[in-house]
Chain A
Amino acid sequence: MKNWLTAPDRALAIVVILVGAFLYLETYSFPSTDWEQLGVAFWPRLVLIGLGVLALFMVWKGTLEPGEEVTFCGRSFVFLAGGLAYYFLLRSVGYLVLTPLFVFVFTAYLGSTDRRGLTVAALSAVLGTAAIYIVFHYGLLVEFPGGVLEAFGE
């Protein structure tokens, strides 16, 4: 049973079937568009049925391309988690505080944490953020979330 489920394509197919079934049910909550020959849900349902058929084929096949083992790297997901944290904290902390912090933490995380590594990370964080901020804020007139600095401003 464990081997049956760990075939990567089969595992993905099961996820596709579950998410697809959920989305298919969701199509019944779409507002009705009686004035049309095909409703607003026609196209998504057609695509979901197609995806479902394909996923069932993958469940049956198990592995589509025999070859090297599929591996995921934990560090990549740590980086992604950092990206998500960046999204969640951006409004409250603010661009000018959060961005150098993010760059510093991840430069040190991916590189080295000795004195030289931390100095490089700090320089990269400050100079990189400054360059991006100048281009976008002064060059392209983009307003960034002020966050904690807004409180100081007030």
Chain B
Amino acid sequence: MGEMIGFDSAVLLEALSRVLDPFNILIVFLGVAGGIIIGIIPGMGATMAIAILIPFTFTMLPETGMALLVAVYIGSVSGGCLTAILIRLPGTPASVATLLDGFPMATQGKAGQAISNAVVASFFGTIISGIILIFSAPLLAAFALKFHFAEYVAVCVFALTAISAVSGSSMAKGLLTGMLGVLLATFGISEEDGVPRFNFGSDMFLGGFTFLPALMGLFAVSQIMVEVANMKSAKKVKAISIESILPSLTSIRQNLGNYLRSGLIGTVIGVIPAVGGATAGLISYAQAKNASKEGEKFGTGHIPGIVASETANNAAIGGALIIMLTLGIPGDPATAVLIGGLMIHGLEPGPRLFMSYPEVLYAIYLTVFLGAFFMMFVLLAFMRPLAKVMELPKEILLPLLFVLAATGVYSTNNRVFDILVMCGFGCLGYILERMRYPLAPLVLGFVLGPLIEGNFRKMLGQYGDVWPLFTQPIALMFMVLTLGSILWTIRTRWKAANASAQEPSP
């Protein structure tokens, strides 16, 4: 079975010819540039950028559509570094560790040097994770072909335990939003038996909450509402000026080990469901600091700090794509939206995708590399004008973004009701965000809930009980990992609580 998923040079050549088609190159270039622009605007981000652009892919071939979305993903994650360095505000959460050294460098008059090193690091991060993606995804997909109902239930339950990793300081908050996501996914006609649930006698609810309006509400509308609230207190953004725009070869040479280590860390962390680039950047930053002989310089405007953060957050892209493409589990909220992009074209992520639509997969692989080159070119060549984007007035931007989001969700099914769903999820997302409840578990629950339910019920239908979860070797392995993950979380949180209790109160 595994051979069916192996490397196929004929398909690669076919995908290469499609990716290098002038229209496709233009699409990838525009996607990267658009992603960078959205990534630069503080508060917007990869998830919002991808969600808003999904409707534009309807009329495209699946591989072209996915190329656009992946390009936007790369662009928006990379663009966030500009604001982190120039105004001490991460354009995307992924760049949060970049500002620790980026902004001090900018205040020392070395903004250009900081940005150019961040851009090169983003490039290396994307390329390293792209290479790992190409070699590991088919292997993981071949392994996933052995999955049956019990294995899928076990792997999804294991993925749900990742909620603990993205729950911030309160696990209960993460669990609550995660279960809320699972619950919201049960609305509408049940896929297993075709009968309606929670439709309250109305035809409008029969279809349930579809993916795109829900995600657009959670990540675009709620963010617009947050930005509307912040506009009152926000000062007019004025970026620090940029001197040089090219990185020095010496600093690239000195950081080769850093690129490699941070690239690997970022890719591995990207694979963990729902964790994402911000955590990858922070962990990689800490590792770079520990490994450095000049650890004390970190946080004062030290290039290796920027390199560690930016390499890792971009490498998380490849990691997130691995788990998304092979198992259909989102590595971060942005890949949850990418799943929506695939589904709109009738493609379901998972091992079957590798056999049925290899050209789409190869196109995604190649776009990662092409996108990385365009990202570096656009950011280095247009660094100064792009820095002006962050000065765009929000009063013009926010109403237009809302209209664009509403138009996008309407155009999915020509259904006005989807705009109401988008507003409802936007309100929910805003309230949860203000109360500091994480949204990533909600998306994870929304995606994994139907997978767990469907496979659990099929497993019971086939075996009559839950024992396959503990008797099938792969399922058992994931159940043991789940138990280990839960115990590990309890232990680390208990230790953290003890440590804070022992701290002397001020």
Which positions in A face B, CB cutoff 8 Å? 8-9, 12, 16, 23, 26-27, 30-31, 33, 36-38, 40-44, 47-48, 50-51, 54-55, 57-58, 61, 64-65, 67, 70-73, 75-77, 79-80, 83-84, 86-87, 90-91, 95, 99, 102-103, 106-107, 110-111, 120, 124, 128-129, 132, 135-136, 139-145
Is the CB–CB distance between A37 and B169 below 8 Å? no
Is the CB–CB distance between B172 and A36 below 8 Å? no
Is the CB–CB distance between B228 and A141 below 8 Å? no
Is the CB–CB distance between A65 and B436 below 8 Å? yes
Minimum distance in angstroms from B416 CB to a CB of chain A: 5
Is the CB–CB distance between A136 and B426 below 8 Å? no
Is the CB–CB distance between B170 and A80 below 8 Å? no
User: Hey, which chain A residues are within 8 Å of B453, CB to CB?
Assistant: 43
Smallest CB gap from B421: residue in A? A87
Q: Report the 4 A-B pairs with minimum CB-CB distance, sorted nearest first.
A: A73-B229, A111-B395, A110-B395, A106-B399
Minimum distance in angstroms from A88 CB to a CB of chain B: 8
User: Hey, which chain B residues are within 8 Å of A58, CB to CB?
Assistant: 172, 176
Is the CB–CB distance between A106 and B420 below 8 Å? no
User: Hey, which chain A residues are within 8 Å of B231, CB to CB?
Assistant: 75, 110
Considering the complex, which residues of chain B in the window 156-172 have a beta carbon less than 8 Å from any beta carbon of chain A? 168-170, 172
Is the CB–CB distance between B395 and A67 below 8 Å? no
Is the CB–CB distance between B229 and A75 below 8 Å? yes
Is the CB–CB distance between B228 and A36 below 8 Å? no
Is the CB–CB distance between B404 and A132 below 8 Å? yes
Given A76-B430, A90-B419, A37 contacting B411 (CB threshold 8 A):
no
Question: What is the CA–CA distance of A27 and B449 in the complex, to the nearest angstrom?
Answer: 17
Given A26-B200, A76-B430, A83-B402, A61 contacting B221 (CB threshold 8 A):
no
Minimum distance in angstroms from A19 CB to a CB of chain B: 10
B12 at the interface (CB under 8 A from A): no
Which positions in B face A, CB cutoff 8 Å? 55-56, 58-59, 168-170, 172-173, 175-176, 179-180, 182-183, 186, 190, 192-193, 195-198, 200, 221, 224-226, 228-229, 231-232, 393-396, 398-400, 402-404, 406-407, 410-411, 414, 416, 419-420, 423, 426-427, 430-431, 434-436, 449, 453, 456-457, 460-461, 464
Is the CB–CB distance between A54 and B436 below 8 Å? no
Is the CB–CB distance between B434 and A70 below 8 Å? yes
Question: What is the CA–CA distance of A83 and B414 in the complex, to the nearest angstrom?
Answer: 17
What's the dominant secondary structure at chain B's contact region? helix
Please pick, from B183, B399, B419, the residue contacting A110 in the complex, using a CB distance under 8 A: B399
User: Hey, which chain B residues are within 8 Å of A120, CB to CB?
Assistant: 396
Is the CB–CB distance between A75 and B399 below 8 Å? no
Is the CB–CB distance between A136 and B172 below 8 Å? no
User: Hey, which chain A residues are within 8 Å of B193, CB to CB?
Assistant: 33, 36, 40
What's the dominant secondary structure at chain A's contact region? helix
Is the CB–CB distance between B190 and A8 below 8 Å? no
Please pick, from B393, B403, B404, B449, the residue contacting A111 in the complex, using a CB distance under 8 A: B393
Please pick, from B173, B186, B416, B427, the residue contacting A145 in the complex, using a CB distance under 8 A: B416
Given A73-B232, A143-B414, A51 contacting B399 (CB threshold 8 A):
no
Given A61-B172, A132-B403, A142-B411, A73 contacting B179 (CB threshold 8 A):
no
User: Hey, which chain B residues are within 8 Å of A140, CB to CB?
Assistant: 55-56, 58-59, 411
Given A58-B172, A80-B225, A106-B399, A33 contacting B416 (CB threshold 8 A):
no
User: Hey, which chain A residues are within 8 Å of B395, CB to CB?
Assistant: 107, 110-111
Is the CB–CB distance between B176 and A76 below 8 Å? no
Is the CB–CB distance between B435 and A12 below 8 Å? yes
Question: What is the CA–CA distance of A91 and B193 in the complex, to the nearest angstrom?
Answer: 34
Question: What is the CA–CA distance of A12 and B419 in the complex, to the nearest angstrom?
Answer: 25
Question: What is the CA–CA distance of A31 and B190 in the complex, to the nearest angstrom?
Answer: 11
Is the CB–CB distance between A79 and B228 below 8 Å? yes
Is the CB–CB distance between B435 and A51 below 8 Å? no
User: Hey, which chain A residues are within 8 Å of B192, CB to CB?
Assistant: 36, 40
Please pick, from B169, B229, B396, the residue contacting A76 in the complex, using a CB distance under 8 A: B229
Minimum distance in angstroms from A114 CB to a CB of chain B: 13
Question: What is the CA–CA distance of A79 and B209 in the complex, to the nearest angstrom?
Answer: 22
Given A37-B460, A87-B416, A110-B231, A16 contacting B198 (CB threshold 8 A):
no
Given A9-B435, A37-B460, A110 contacting B398 (CB threshold 8 A):
yes
User: Hey, which chain B residues are within 8 Å of A33, CB to CB?
Assistant: 193, 195
Q: A128-B400, A129-B403 are in contact. List 19 more A-B contacts (CB 8 A).
A: A9-B173, A26-B198, A33-B193, A43-B457, A44-B198, A47-B182, A51-B179, A64-B173, A65-B169, A70-B436, A72-B431, A75-B232, A84-B420, A86-B419, A102-B402, A111-B395, A111-B396, A124-B399, A140-B59
Question: What is the CA–CA distance of A57 and B404 in the complex, to the nearest angstrom?
Answer: 40
Is the CB–CB distance between B396 and A107 below 8 Å? yes
User: Hey, which chain A residues are within 8 Å of B198, CB to CB?
Assistant: 23, 26, 44
Question: What is the CA–CA distance of A120 and B449 in the complex, to the nearest angstrom?
Answer: 46
Question: What is the CA–CA distance of A111 and B397 in the complex, to the nearest angstrom?
Answer: 11
Is the CB–CB distance between B180 and A79 below 8 Å? no
Question: What is the CA–CA distance of A143 and B420 in the complex, to the nearest angstrom?
Answer: 18
Given A107-B395, A136-B55, A99 contacting B420 (CB threshold 8 A):
no
Minimum distance in angstroms from A11 CB to a CB of chain B: 9
Question: What is the CA–CA distance of A91 and B200 in the complex, to the nearest angstrom?
Answer: 23
Which of B195, B197, B393, B434: most chain A CB closer than 10 A? B197
Smallest CB gap from A45: residue in B? B186
User: Hey, which chain A residues are within 8 Å of B419, CB to CB?
Assistant: 83, 86-87, 90
